[in-house]
Amino acid sequence: MLVICVCIFNNDAITELILIRHGETDWNRELRFQGQVDVPLNAMGHEQARRLAQRLAQEQCVVDHLVCSDLIRAQQTAQPVAQALLPHLALEGLTDAGLREQHFGEVDGMRVSDIQQQHAQAWADWLRFDADHAMPGGETTRQFHARVMDAVRRLAAQHAGQRVMVVTHGGVLDMLWRTAQGLGLSGPRESDIPNAGLSRVRLQGDAMEVLHWADTRHLADLPAQPVYDQKKLLVR
């Protein structure tokens, strides 16, 4: 569950987005390709969401609106935050499918070992981290990036001059990091995206600047998180 503050500058207004990655699920801990399978939070994920909401409330974080991915793990993460900061808003109707995780098609929900056995060629192609490659029936990274940026820009336009909280997924945050750093869409993930980290990014037009990334002080005494390290999978 990563939190990112994104400041989006228009000609006469600044729209700030607070982006939250959903809390931990059992499939996170098993390092499955969750994709768009509707997996709920586990006990740790609920605790992460509770602590996040507590921190934001203690810091008197002020937000004008909230929107989240329509997948249940994002909605369950958003609920305590919404209750703490926006108790007048009903979470129903505040979802946006454009903020979903990347769609991995036939391998959504599968463990790496199963993908290697059942989709050997697709797995070999995946390890090249090519922006135009998709798992069978899934999205390419380029298609995914376009969807994410369309959703973010749409939110900025709709809520110009406001602060909006967005609850989403690790892959979505990776697309924002790559955009901010001027990185290509090919290659393994280079950013840390821990559950419940806090970051800030500023965007002016098409230029995005990272101000702060992956603060997890509010989770300091919790067990170590599962880490999905794409660099360790890279084909040399």
* pLDDT at residue 213 in the model: 87
Could you tell me the pLDDT band of residue 211, with boundaries at 50, 70 and 90?
Answer: confident
- How far apart, in Å, are the Cα atoms of 176 and each of 62, 114, 221? 23, 30, 28
Cα distance between the two ends of the chain? 31
Sign of CA dihedral 163, 169, 175, 177: positive
* pLDDT at residue 3 in the model: 52
What are the pLDDT digits (tens) for 142-177?
A: 999 999 999 998 888 888 888 888 899 999 999 999
Average pLDDT, the chain: 88
Strand arrangement of the beta sheet that strand 3-9 belongs to: 65-68, 163-168, 14-21, 3-9, 198-204, 207-215
Could you tell me the pLDDT band of residue 12, with boundaries at 50, 70 and 90?
Answer: low
Residues 6+ apart with CB under 8 A from 32: 109, 110, 111
pTM over 0.75: yes
- CATH code given to domain 3-233: 3.40.50.1240
What are the pLDDT digits (tens) for 72-120?
A: 999 999 999 999 999 988 888 899 999 999 999 999 999 989 999 999 9
Q: Which residues are catalytic?
A: 22, 101
Q: Is a pLDDT exceeding 60 seen at residue 10?
A: no
